[in-house]
Amino acid sequence: MEDLKGYLAQNKDRYLNELKDLLSIPSVSTSAEHEGDVRRAANWVHDQFVSMGLEAHIHETERHPVVYAQWLDAGPDAPTVLVYGHYDVQPPDPLDLWETGPFEPTVRDGKIFARGATDDKGQFFAHLKAAEAHMKVRGKLPVNLKFLIEGEEEIGSPNLAPYIKAHKDQLAADVVVISDTSMFAEGVPAIVYGLRGLTYFEITVEGPDHDLHSGLYGGAVANPINSLCQIIAGLKDENGKITIPGFYDEVRELTDAEREAWKKLPFDEEGFQSSIGAEALVGEEGFTTLERRWGRPTLDCNGIIGGFTGQGAKTVLPSKATAKFSCRLVPDQEPEVITARIEAHLKASVPEGTRLTVTPMHGGQPVIVNTDSPAVQAARQALSDAFGAEAVFIRGGGSIPVVADFSNILGVPTVLMGFGLPDDRLHSPNEKYNLTSFYGGIKAATLFLDHVANK
Amino acid sequence: MEDLKGYLAQNKDRYLNELKDLLSIPSVSTSAEHEGDVRRAANWVHDQFVSMGLEAHIHETERHPVVYAQWLDAGPDAPTVLVYGHYDVQPPDPLDLWETGPFEPTVRDGKIFARGATDDKGQFFAHLKAAEAHMKVRGKLPVNLKFLIEGEEEIGSPNLAPYIKAHKDQLAADVVVISDTSMFAEGVPAIVYGLRGLTYFEITVEGPDHDLHSGLYGGAVANPINSLCQIIAGLKDENGKITIPGFYDEVRELTDAEREAWKKLPFDEEGFQSSIGAEALVGEEGFTTLERRWGRPTLDCNGIIGGFTGQGAKTVLPSKATAKFSCRLVPDQEPEVITARIEAHLKASVPEGTRLTVTPMHGGQPVIVNTDSPAVQAARQALSDAFGAEAVFIRGGGSIPVVADFSNILGVPTVLMGFGLPDDRLHSPNEKYNLTSFYGGIKAATLFLDHVANK
């Protein structure tokens, strides 16, 4: 593979300039005012595919287009790889906290700063350059390769599942590769083999049908805020266990091998704690911080509001209070099943004198990937080679819903081979992407194609 | 007293027209734009005193003036009565809910609708007309009479206590009379002999020093909303008892006589419940609804906010959450003592991984008045005669801080002799004052002066 490595080394400056071009396009998918920019980014990606010799299309959806590209000349015996990525980005606000403009990509201290640098432009770009390198150096790819790069990931991919369903045959593949996650730490490349799912709720507790004076009525009427707090407080016991009946029934326990492997990871617990500025790390008894984040379900209140919340004091006894909360789920918890159990439990725990409304909002399935598959092994080999350090297997605490879509609709497993770092500040001001990640990512993606072809 | 009664009967139309004049002045004390109107109302009240032959002054304060008037020619053996009232009103918002303009006083179904009709213009007006009637009919008053009518009650009377302190000698009296409360029900006049006190707090729970992604961090970090809910839920037990150590130590228990008397009141529990639209009436075990509202301390959350409270879902693990709450206090709870106990308890119950800040905001002392005093007996007699039904002794759940000021600064007890009704919608749209209250109030105030002179 020295031919490829040499080519990559010679083109480093060009790669960086191209990434800067892409990062300069403010493809903010949620903003109507950036609709033209989103399309410009789609065109930019499309033109990249065309210039490297792939067949490429811009597919319209109800909002932002999907860029699809393919090269299928590796023959029927070669595996087919589908690369997923997204060219849209989060809004850059708050603008005043950026040291340099969010769409004026700037390199400082070996990092490129811009909105989308790590999420996901800098990452999916690696796979473009991998395909290009193979085409330029060898005139062909070692696998059949497909690209699906969408423009709506940051607004919840509303048109992606319909697109996948409508293009099942075209998207057929042996494996999906996504680079939209982080390495475990600088110099420690990682494959994410599990993701948590989600169920998100809103609950409203109502008492009197209008706000009351707390002096004239206080003491004789149930207070919806107090009731809501009582309900929420009752959802966990003193050991951090969730008390909803049946909540843990389908939880796949961590294996001894996993727990051992995670204990060996170079996890800096103190550094983690100080990075979030918390007094202590607190969670379910009997589990480590990594186990709590990756392998255990959670229940967190994400928002609460009720009564008078302005400056000063108002002695109101409010008529209602609302909270949003979510549970992160782990294999093999099914969002619908857990949602139903939570709803039943909540409805059974309404304090006297109040009414409760539960509104399930959305959910997502947890994911776990077989780490023994040839594609995962190929990714591990490529990452280890590209970053000069053994890639580790980790899980992620968040959700990437498209992984479940690929599994459920296409029946294809996903390899999560991310090049970012935990401090990349995605969705925040001063998002960055280390150049070691950038070049390492291109190298890993390039080598991966050879490794997966040889499995 | 037939002379007085005859005079009152002859002047009913004039009284109503005069009240309409006063109610037409939008003396909203909180609004800078109404500053001129507030002064107009002060002048109106001042001119009333002058025209009936009292010595009257407008005393400037840092904001809205106090109107003071006196007539001290009843001699040293006659008692001295100080009447307190307020000529300022609450803002009328929301305007669109008023059936007729808040400052266009309108009579419908035997009620006069306007902002301030019952709170407090229509009520203190009764005492003006009482003095006027005595002066016009008899050329003198049976007591030495002083009036203190302020313009800042609806903004918390910031300049009243300083004013009372600065005018201690001038305000010296045997009894203070205030008409700013309600009768027990239509046709059931009442003297309020007890008021609850208050202590108001804000608490903030902080966890991580910035908002976190609930997927990446959830399960490993204490969530400030969950912690806040846990703290609030822990402040009461399953019987509605407040769990703060020492909270009930100084609570003066209701006497058997009080409980018996309250049980005999024509309290319509079902009507009360349906008027507030609650599923059930809920409170401290072992007490009736009236006992809970009048004679027992409370703890109510008045507001709560934290995390994402907009439309839709955001999977945030917030860095902080805030709640406001207040306790209504009963004799002999001291706000400062209770405040200190609450603060100590809260600080001892902070869940691991979070920090707590407690900000005491304001407080007020509970009040209880000796119902055997001559002035209270005179008020009872006057009310019973004026409304044709025996006046009852009740307590109020709210606070009237000026009552404690008169007691603490002047050493003078207060008689709360209110003519309003529980459905007067004070502070709300369509505030009203029944004409039976209006004329009955003038009559009661007029008779009261004779009764108290004869005690």
State the ipTM, two decimals.
0.88
Tell me whether residue B388 is exposed, middle or buried, using C-beta atoms within 10 angstroms of its C-beta: 0 to 12, 13 to 18, 19 or more.
exposed
Q: What is the CA radius of gyration of chain B?
A: 24
Is B213 within 8 Å of chain A by CB?
yes
CB-CB under 8 Å, A361 with B215: no
Residues of B in contact with A354 (CB under 8 A): 279
Residues of B in contact with A305 (CB under 8 A): 304-306, 309
Q: How far is CA A197 from CA A297, A331, A401, B60, B215, in A?
A: 9, 8, 8, 66, 9
Strands B300-307 and A300-307: antiparallel
For A221, the closest of B281, B297, B312 (CB atoms) is: B281
- Give kind and range of the element (H or E) at residue A323: strand A320-329
One-letter amino acid of B448: F
Is A118 within 8 Å of chain B by CB?
no
- What is the structure's pLDDT at B376? 97
Q: How far is CA A335 from CA A77, A364, A403, in A?
A: 38, 6, 15
CB-CB under 8 Å, B298 with A219: yes
Catalytic residue among B150, B152, B153, B343: B153
Is B75 within 8 Å of chain A by CB?
no
Instruction: Name the residue in chain A with its Cα closest to that of B232.
Output: A229
What are chain A's domains?
2-195+366-454 (3.40.630.10), 197-251+297-363 (3.30.70.360)
- Give kind and range of the element (H or E) at residue A377: helix A374-387
- What is the structure's pLDDT at B311? 85
CB-CB under 8 Å, B232 with A276: no
pLDDT band at A44 (very low <50, low <70, confident <90, very high): very high
Q: Which of A315, A327, A365 to mutate to test the interface with B (most CBs of B within 10 A)?
A: A315
For A300, the closest of B198, B214, B280 (CB atoms) is: B214
CB-CB under 8 Å, B323 with A353: no
The least confident of A120-124, A176-180, A426-430 is: A426-430
Residues of A in contact with B307 (CB under 8 A): 301-304, 324
For A216, the closest of B198, B236, B397 (CB atoms) is: B397
Residue A303 and residue A323: Cα distance in Å, rounded? 5
Strands B106-108 and B190-195: unpaired
Strands laid side by side in the A432-434 sheet:
A106-108, A111-113, A432-434
* Angle subtended by helix axes A435-454 and A12-23, to nearest 10: 110
Interface A–B counts its CB contacts (< 8 A) at: 283
Catalytic residue among A120, A132, A152, A153: A153
Residues of B in contact with A352 (CB under 8 A): 279-280, 282
Taking alpha carbons only, the member of B81, B68, B71 closest to residue B414 is B81
Q: Which of residues 27-46 of B touch A (CB under 8 A)?
A: none
Residues of A in contact with B362 (CB under 8 A): 313
Query: Torsions phi, psi of B81, nearest 5?
Result: -115, 135
- For the record, the structure tokens of A430 come out as 């001063």
CB-CB under 8 Å, A306 with B306: no
In which residue are the tokens 């970012």 written? Answer: A420
Q: How far is CA A107 from CA A16, A122, A183, B152, in A?
A: 10, 13, 21, 61
Q: Which of B93, B119, B202, B214 to mutate to test the interface with A (most CBs of A within 10 A)?
A: B214
Residues of B in contact with A210 (CB under 8 A): 276-277
Residues of A in contact with B228 (CB under 8 A): 229, 304
CB-CB under 8 Å, A397 with B218: yes
Residues of B in contact with A284 (CB under 8 A): 219
Q: Does pLDDT of A255 surpass 90?
A: yes
Closest-CA distance of chain A to residue B357, Å: 14
Q: How far is CA A435 from CA A41, A100, A186, A448, in A?
A: 22, 17, 11, 19
- What is the structure's pLDDT at A116? 97
**Mean local confidence (pLDDT), A75-94:** 94
Q: Which of residues 407-436 of A touch B (CB under 8 A)?
A: 427
Query: Torsions phi, psi of B200, nearest 5?
Result: -120, 135
Residues of A in contact with B236 (CB under 8 A): 226
- What is the structure's pLDDT at B94? 83
Instruction: Name the residue in chain B with its Cα closest to that of A223.
Output: B300
Q: Does pLDDT of A43 surpass 90?
A: yes
Does the annotation mark B174 as catalytic? Answer: no
Is B182 within 8 Å of chain A by CB?
no
Using CA of residue A176, residue A182, residue A185, residue A186, what is the dihedral sign?
A: positive
Is A217 within 8 Å of chain B by CB?
yes
Closest-CA distance of chain B to residue A349, Å: 13
Is A162 within 8 Å of chain B by CB?
no
Tell me whether residue B260 is exposed, middle or buried, using C-beta atoms within 10 angstroms of its C-beta: 0 to 12, 13 to 18, 19 or more.
exposed
Q: Which of residues 317-336 of B touch A (CB under 8 A)?
A: 317-318, 321-324, 326, 328
Closest-CA distance of chain A to residue B446, Å: 29
Is B97 within 8 Å of chain A by CB?
no
- Residue-wise pLDDT for A282-298, tens only, equals 999 999 999 999 999 99
Instruction: Name the residue in chain A with its Cα closest to that of B329.
Output: A215
Using CA of residue B16, residue B17, residue B18, residue B21, what is the dihedral sign?
A: positive
DSSP B78: S
Total Cβ atoms within 10 A of residue B167: 16
Split chain B (455 residues) into runs of 10 and give each run's mean pLDDT. Answer: 94 98 96 96 98 97 97 96 97 90 98 97 98 98 98 91 97 97 95 95 94 91 96 96 98 96 95 92 97 97 94 88 96 96 96 95 90 96 97 93 92 96 90 98 98 92
CB-CB under 8 Å, B309 with A321: no
CB-CB under 8 Å, A306 with B326: no
Q: What's the pTM?
A: 0.88
Closest-CA distance of chain A to residue B139, Å: 41
Instruction: Name the residue in chain A with its Cα closest to that of B284.
Output: A219
Name A393's Cβ contacts closer than 8 Å, sequence gap at least 6: A190, A191, A193, A261, A371, A380
One-letter amino acid of A226: N
pLDDT band at A362 (very low <50, low <70, confident <90, very high): confident
SS3 A189: coil
- Give kind and range of the element (H or E) at residue B357: strand B355-364
**Mean local confidence (pLDDT), A233-261:** 96
CB-CB under 8 Å, B232 with A226: yes
Instruction: Name the residue in chain B with its Cα closest to that of A198.
Output: B215
Q: Which of residues 245-264 of A touch B (CB under 8 A)?
A: none
CB-CB under 8 Å, B280 with A222: yes
Does the annotation mark A88 as catalytic? Answer: yes
